[in-house]
């Protein structure tokens, strides 16, 4: 067994950094408010790192990961490490590196305040924060590096090396992690026309070399180089650059583990396998079907790290299935195998330990970051045990390193050809063994009984999830089976609907509206927190939310907006709020996941068929409408966004889950309509980020995703105006599909890409009405009227004026009231100027 355990190593690509109780969030916000200094913030960082490394070691992992911590974002860390901070932040002598870092992440306003984050705001004094965009298909936002022909690189920050030393001083075996040079360049954006950022590679590689030299000098055993772009459609020049780049980096002589995740490698399998590195990590969940070819192609002297535990979702691993997958690979790799999570655990919550309110059955189906560490340790122990039982020494396993023989196992290995598991192991008989659920820790090698009990507990949980009556709801299945083929079509085409809606609402030209949320003030949040703690009765909580709604409606009337919103005071989050009210969803108490900087979200868990037991938004909306004679816009989150920002069941296609959510939203639309609401917005900001990494699969996704939206909206009468809203992404490459969603009005974020996006909409001749965001809500800066008039004039040049709406880029929940009111006042004035002209 010792021989096998020595050859099986466990590690993770990264760990959540915000802390079990969001300690980092609170420390950051205190620091930004000026309540604590840098030393105290640094101390929080060091405490969290130490705790998280201890977690990894105590769970039994062989290596702890260093370099995954960041005070704001891991890409921003690399911008500082590699010395390519844009010069515009007015850095000055004596300014600390951390202050420079936050300036870059949050912007520096000329008027003495920091911006919350990116966006092309404050262009006139050019100190706006770096843009933020989605990290691949996750709900995490990274800061976008900026590149131009003048960009220079240098080893400019000691932080990574200090963290390595910190971990070593604590006695850990360290694997450092870096974003690889190709992925770093790919994620950046060119700030000069006609410039190709790949041309910077020659300048960048020596700096990576210097970083690796330093890590080597520190005695780091392994460096994980994250290159997830190997799972994308790469232009040939980028593929070629991997060969030259890694040849150069390999010269340093520190073992490199090339890490890919989120997507299969496909045509890049052979490239990834032959690069001159010491090991390759692959996503064993999303690229499970490639495990055999990678196992076959990867030269025998290299380490294969299989990301067998899902780092993107929260389901407990089916350990039997995982072992069945691993055993043949293990045999082919001569017993030398690394086990890991598919990707960094940044994307899952910290631990299930505090989830006392979660239904115990559902809870038993889940594994968050801490539990996933235990799963890895368990898989290692099981694999070593089975291998030891099957053969006394690794030499008895296959030495075969060529293409698969089909069985995946060497003759004489003594493993069942059906399951890949040793006969009598108890793994393949499906019986749930009694015993503790405690998974093995590092303190002692788990004895056979403990291992068997832990495996049995895992098996029982997976079996309970498969068989549970709460997962399948026959009424939902019946409704989907009976869904009319034209359920995704409105009764009439857009021109007829537009006429009916204009007759009903009688809005002026350039109608003004907002995207839905108004400031989520500290008093709103603390009222909700008190209510959740049981200290504020439901009636008092509801009364205070009604007062907030009345306040927001009053302000909007006073500002002269045309289409009002209730302001979303009662919503903790635009997805979680709906998840809490839908059947088939579970929600957590502490299941926070970092979204950007200090901001977190708590994604709900979709574990079963989705249905809507009762109306979710009607009372609040009707109350808001009762306060005004102006149209009140109902506010819903769309099916694709609810799907994308939740943890989704993996036992049926995502398309099916999206359709179930769509039917629930469809019923809400019908209820709002019946209650007299004539304008309903169905937000779909996450449509773009749901696109599969490979373009070849876009079509299939866009078909079901846009249909889900149309099903949600499809029952609305012609005179009911359906809006949708999108933000946080570039949309120009999916304009036909956005148009096919057939919303009557789309409000869309435009300020980050200036009016580039609108040019796309204009060129495409987007057929319905559009509200291009006329100001960036991510900054407290108040844009003046002239600036917004200018943007609207530019918009009118490409889109017929009769199609245009006037609104901010996105919701105002992260803003304060003073800047919100001033900005909206200027926005209404801008619309009036255009009308007058």
* Residue ranges that bind ligand HCS, judged by CB under 6 A: 515-517, 574, 635, 683, 685, 725, 727, 810-811, 813
Count CB neighbours of 314 within 10 A. Answer: 26
The residue among 7 and 517 lying less far from ligand LYWDKB7T, judged by its C-beta, is 517
Q: Give min distance, CB of 2 to ligand HCS, in A.
A: 54
The residue among 239 and 599 lying less far from Zn ion, judged by its C-beta, is 599
How far is the CA of 340 from the CAs of 64, 261, 524, 578, 762, in angstroms? Answer: 12, 11, 41, 33, 47
Task: Build a one-symbol-per-residue string for 104-123: x at contacts with Zn ion by CB under 5 A, - elsewhere.
Answer: --------------------
Q: Give min distance, CB of 692 to ligand HCS, in A.
A: 22
Q: 218: exposed, middle or buried (C-beta count within 10 Å: 0-12, 13-18, 19+)? A: middle
Q: Which residues contact 118 (CB under 8 A, 6 or more apart)?
A: 107, 128, 129, 130, 131, 132, 143, 144, 752, 778
Is 748 a residue that touches ligand LYWDKB7T (CB under 6 A)? no
Q: Give min distance, CB of 762 to ligand HCS, in A.
A: 23
Among 191, 599, 794, 825, binds ligand LYWDKB7T (CB under 6 A): 599
Given ligand HCS, ligand LYWDKB7T, Zn ion, none, residue 609, with its beta carbon under 5 to 8 Å by kind, binds none
Among 3, 389, 521, 595, binds ligand LYWDKB7T (CB under 6 A): 595
d(CA 212, CA 251): 10
d(CA 143, CA 78): 10
* 246, 224 contact by CB (below 8 A): no
Is 574 a residue that touches ligand LYWDKB7T (CB under 6 A)? yes
The residue among 262 and 578 lying less far from ligand LYWDKB7T, judged by its C-beta, is 578
Given ligand HCS, ligand LYWDKB7T, Zn ion, none, residue 421, with its beta carbon under 5 to 8 Å by kind, binds none
Given ligand LYWDKB7T, ligand HCS, Zn ion, none, residue 516, with its beta carbon under 5 to 8 Å by kind, binds ligand HCS
d(CA 654, CA 701): 9
Among 85, 573, 609, 671, binds ligand LYWDKB7T (CB under 6 A): 573
Q: Give min distance, CB of 301 to ligand LYWDKB7T, in A.
A: 43
How far is the CA of 361 from the CAs of 385, 608, 657, in angstroms? Answer: 30, 13, 21
Q: 408: exposed, middle or buried (C-beta count within 10 Å: 0-12, 13-18, 19+)? A: buried
In sequence order, what E strands does 574-714 have?
A: 583-586, 593-596, 599-601, 605-611, 633-637, 679-683
Q: 92: exposed, middle or buried (C-beta count within 10 Å: 0-12, 13-18, 19+)? A: exposed
Residue whose CB is nearest to ligand HCS in the complex, by number: 811
Q: Give min distance, CB of 333 to Zn ion, in A.
A: 46
Q: Which residues contact 692 (CB under 8 A, 6 or more apart)?
A: 137, 263, 698, 701
The residue among 75 and 455 lying less far from ligand LYWDKB7T, judged by its C-beta, is 75
Among 84, 346, 600, 739, binds ligand LYWDKB7T (CB under 6 A): 600
Residue with tokens 């790799």, as numbered in its chain: 333
Given ligand LYWDKB7T, ligand HCS, Zn ion, none, residue 595, with its beta carbon under 5 to 8 Å by kind, binds ligand LYWDKB7T
Q: What share of the chain is helix, strand, coil (3-state, %, to 5)?
A: 45, 15, 45
**Binding to ligand LYWDKB7T in span 607-646, by CB under 6 A:** 645
Residue with tokens 């890895």, as numbered in its chain: 376
Q: Give min distance, CB of 681 to ligand LYWDKB7T, in A.
A: 14
Number of residues counted as binding ligand LYWDKB7T (CB under 6 A): 20
Q: 629: exposed, middle or buried (C-beta count within 10 Å: 0-12, 13-18, 19+)? A: exposed
Is 810 a residue that touches Zn ion (CB under 5 A)? yes
Catalytically active residues, by annotation: 778
Is 105 a residue that touches ligand LYWDKB7T (CB under 6 A)? no
The residue among 688 and 710 lying less far from Zn ion, judged by its C-beta, is 688
Task: Build a one-symbol-per-residue string for 265-304: x at contacts with ligand LYWDKB7T by CB under 6 A, - elsewhere.
Answer: ----------------------------------------
Options 350-358, 501-509, 523-531, 740-748: segment touching ligand LYWDKB7T (CB under 6 A): 523-531
d(CA 671, CA 534): 30
For residue 711, the 8-state DSSP code is H
Binding-site residue set for L-homocysteine: 515-517, 568, 683
* 634, 679 contact by CB (below 8 A): yes
The residue among 77 and 637 lying less far from ligand HCS, judged by its C-beta, is 637
Given ligand HCS, ligand LYWDKB7T, Zn ion, none, residue 714, with its beta carbon under 5 to 8 Å by kind, binds none
Query: Which residues are 178's β-sheet partners?
Result: 225
Q: Give min distance, CB of 760 to ligand HCS, in A.
A: 20
Q: Give min distance, CB of 556 to ligand LYWDKB7T, in A.
A: 20
What are the structure tokens assigned to 180, written together?
């690889």
Is 422 a residue that touches Zn ion (CB under 5 A)? no
In degrees rounded to 5, what are phi and psi of residue 491? -60, -40
Task: Build a one-symbol-per-residue string for 670-709: x at contacts with Zn ion by CB under 5 A, - elsewhere.
Answer: ---------------x------------------------
Q: Give min distance, CB of 541 to ligand LYWDKB7T, in A.
A: 11
Binding-site residue set: 22-25, 134, 515-517, 568, 599-600, 645, 683, 689, 725, 727, 749, 810
The residue among 122 and 680 lying less far from ligand HCS, judged by its C-beta, is 680
Options 168-176, 271-279, 489-497, 525-533: segment touching ligand LYWDKB7T (CB under 6 A): 525-533
The residue among 768 and 820 lying less far from ligand HCS, judged by its C-beta, is 820
Among 115, 197, 459, 528, binds ligand LYWDKB7T (CB under 6 A): 528
The residue among 272 and 727 lying less far from ligand HCS, judged by its C-beta, is 727
In sequence order, what E strands does 241-302 have?
A: 256-259, 279-283
As separate numbers, helices (DSSP H) first and strands (DSSP E) second, the chain gives 28, 21
Is 662 a residue that touches Zn ion (CB under 5 A)? no
Q: Give min distance, CB of 749 to Zn ion, in A.
A: 6
Among 44, 56, 80, 139, binds ligand LYWDKB7T (CB under 6 A): 139
Among 652, 753, 814, 833, binds ligand LYWDKB7T (CB under 6 A): 814
Given ligand HCS, ligand LYWDKB7T, Zn ion, none, residue 635, with its beta carbon under 5 to 8 Å by kind, binds ligand HCS
d(CA 833, CA 168): 64
Q: 120: exposed, middle or buried (C-beta count within 10 Å: 0-12, 13-18, 19+)? A: middle
In degrees rounded to 5, what are phi and psi of residue 558? -65, -35
* 380, 339 contact by CB (below 8 A): yes
Nearest C-alpha neighbor of 645 from the set 709, 607, 593 = 593
Is 338 a residue that touches ligand LYWDKB7T (CB under 6 A)? no
Binding-site residue set for L-methionine: 515-517, 568, 683
Q: Which residues contact 343 (CB under 8 A, 6 or more apart)?
A: 13, 14, 228, 261, 262, 283, 307, 311, 312
* 134, 308 contact by CB (below 8 A): no
How far is the CA of 376 from the CAs of 18, 60, 323, 354, in angstroms? Answer: 22, 8, 11, 21
Count CB neighbours of 501 within 10 A. Answer: 23
Is 572 a residue that touches ligand LYWDKB7T (CB under 6 A)? yes
d(CA 799, CA 759): 8
Q: Given the rule CB under 5 A, which residues bind Zn ion?
A: 685, 727, 810
Binding positions for ligand LYWDKB7T, rule: CB under 6 A: 139, 520, 522, 525-526, 528-529, 572-575, 595, 599-602, 645, 685, 728, 814
């Amino acid at each position: 067994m010792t021989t096998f355990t020595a050859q099986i190593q466990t590690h993770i690509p990264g760990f959540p950094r915000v802390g079990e109780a969001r300690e980092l969030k609170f420390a950051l916000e205190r620091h930004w408010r000026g309540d604590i200094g840098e030393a105290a913030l640094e101390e929080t960082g060091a405490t969290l790192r130490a705790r998280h490394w201890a977690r990894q070691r105590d769970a039994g992992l062989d290596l702890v990961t260093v370099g995954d911590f960041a005070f704001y974002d891991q890409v921003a860390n690399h911008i500082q490490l590699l010395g390519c901070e844009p010069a515009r932040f007015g850095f000055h002598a004596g300014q600390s590196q951390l202050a420079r870092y936050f300036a870059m992440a949050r912007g520096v306003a000329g008027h003495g305040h920091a911006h919350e984050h990116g966006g092309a705001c404050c262009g006139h004094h050019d100190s706006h924060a770096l843009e933020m965009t989605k990290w691949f298909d996750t709900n995490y936002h990274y800061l976008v590096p900026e590149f131009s022909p003048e960009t220079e690189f240098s080893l400019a920050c000691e932080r990574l090396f200090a963290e390595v030393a910190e971990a070593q001083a604590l006695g850990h075996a360290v694997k450092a992690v870096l974003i690889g040079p190709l992925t770093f360049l790919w994620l950046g954006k060119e700030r000069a026309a006609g410039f190709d950022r790949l041309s910077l590679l020659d300048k960048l590689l020596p700096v990576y070399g210097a970083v690796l030299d330093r890590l080597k000098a520190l005695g780091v055993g392994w460096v994980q180089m994250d290159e997830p772009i190997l799972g994308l459609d790469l232009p040939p020049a980028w593929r070629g650059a991997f060969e030259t780049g890694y040849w150069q980096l390999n010269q340093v002589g520190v073992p490199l583990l090339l890490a890919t995740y989120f997507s299969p490698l496909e045509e890049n399998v052979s490239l990834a396998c032959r690069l001159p590195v010491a090991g390759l990590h692959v996503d064993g969940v999303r690229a499970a079907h490639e495990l055999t070819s990678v196992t076959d192609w990867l030269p025998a002297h290299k380490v294969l790290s299989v990301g067998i535990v899902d780092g993107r979702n929260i389901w407990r691993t089916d350990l039997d299935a995982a072992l069945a997958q691993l055993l043949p690979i293990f045999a082919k790799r001569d017993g030398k195998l690394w086990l890991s999570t598919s990707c960094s655990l940044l994307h899952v919550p910290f631990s299930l330990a505090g989830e006392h309110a979660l239904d115990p059955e559902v809870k038993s189906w889940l594994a968050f970051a801490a539990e996933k560490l235990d799963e890895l340790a368990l898989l290692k122990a099981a694999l070593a045990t089975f291998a030891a039982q099957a053969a006394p020494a690794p030499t008895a396993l296959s030495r075969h390193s060529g293409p698969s023989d089909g069985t995946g196992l060497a003759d004489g290995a003594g493993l069942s050809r059906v399951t890949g598991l040793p006969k009598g192991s108890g793994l393949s008989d499906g019986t749930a063994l009694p015993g503790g659920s405690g998974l093995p820790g590092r303190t002692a090698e788990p004895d056979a009984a403990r291992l068997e009990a832990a495996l049995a507990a895992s098996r029982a949980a997976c079996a309970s999830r498969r068989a549970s009556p709460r997962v399948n709801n026959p009424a939902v299945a019946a409704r989907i089976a009976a869904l009319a083929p034209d359920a995704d079509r409105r009764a009439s085409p857009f021109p007829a609907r537009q006429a009916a809606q204009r007759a009903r609402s009688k809005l002026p030209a350039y109608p003004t509206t907002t995207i839905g949320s108004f400031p989520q003030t500290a008093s709103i949040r603390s009222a909700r927190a008190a209510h959740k703690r049981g200290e504020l009765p439901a009636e008092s909580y509801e009364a205070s939310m009604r007062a907030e709604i009345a306040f927001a409606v009053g302000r909007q009337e006073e500002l002269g907006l045309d289409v009002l919103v209730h302001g979303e005071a009662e919503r903790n989050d635009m997805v979680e709020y709906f998840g809490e009210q839908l059947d088939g969803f579970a929600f957590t108490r502490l299941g926070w996941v970092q979204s950007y900087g200090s901001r977190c979200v708590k994604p709900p868990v979709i574990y079963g068929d989705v249905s809507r037991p009762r109306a979710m938004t009607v009372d609040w909306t009707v109350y808001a409408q009762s306060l005004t004679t102006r149209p009140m816009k109902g506010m819903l989150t769309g099916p694709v966004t609810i799907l994308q920002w939740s943890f989704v069941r993996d036992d049926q296609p995502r398309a099916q889950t999206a359709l179930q959510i769509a039917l629930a939203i469809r019923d809400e639309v019908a209820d709002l309509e019946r209650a007299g609401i004539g304008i309903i917005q169905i937000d779909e900001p996450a449509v773009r980020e749901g696109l599969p990494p490979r373009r070849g699969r876009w079509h299939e996704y866009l078909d079901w995703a846009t249909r889900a939206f149309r099903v949600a909206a499809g029952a609305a009468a012609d005179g009911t105006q359906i809006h949708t809203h999108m933000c946080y992404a570039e949309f120009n490459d999916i304009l036909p599909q956005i148009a096919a969603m057939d919303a009557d009005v789309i409000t869309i974020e435009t300020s980050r890409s200036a009016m580039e996006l609108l040019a796309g909409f204009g060129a495409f001749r987007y057929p319905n009405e559009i509200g291009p965001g006329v100001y960036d809500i991510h900054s407290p800066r108040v844009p003046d009227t002239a600036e917004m008039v200018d943007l609207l004039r530019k918009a009118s040049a490409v889109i017929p004026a009769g199609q245009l709406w006037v609104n901010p880029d996105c919701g105002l929940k992260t803003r304060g009231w003073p800047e919100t009111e001033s900005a909206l006042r200027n926005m209404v004035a801008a619309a009036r100027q255009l009308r007058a002209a």
